[in-house]
Structure 1
């Protein structure tokens, strides 16, 4: 299992950089990944797209992607796009 901490912004200007950081910290040999997003200061649709892609990638690997901590900015972005259930399902996976 890979443990990845992202900091700064999950926004259009930084999503590609954050994606590269995520990929380098999450080798393809690991199916599971935990994401600590407690230090994310801003999150927009590009950041939400990155989180959805991470979950999809984990599923394709036969694993799970779990957000272990989410900042208010991440929670607000997920809420704005009607995707709080994504966070809820990730939280439930971490509890099991």
Structure 2
């Protein structure tokens, strides 16, 4: 989905069939300087926690996808909102972020 008023792209990924490599395919389809928010459901975030943690670190250090603004989110079902995936990973204590 693309929100014109925010100039932001939203992608929802499950990774069930293709695995974590699908995240890279999703990111690589965007043009430089675009803003992307990728939403993964909780089980996907949990199953791929270490991979997400590593990728987020690389993105934040500008070692990967330097020309894109990328944010990752998962679901806070109790409060009916999105939460930053980095915060979710910290709560799991599976992240070095």
- Larger-gyration structure (1/2): 2
Q: TM-score, normalization: structure 2? A: 0.49
Q: TM-score, normalization: structure 1? A: 0.50
More helix per residue:
1
Higher relative contact order (CA 8 A, sep 6+): 1
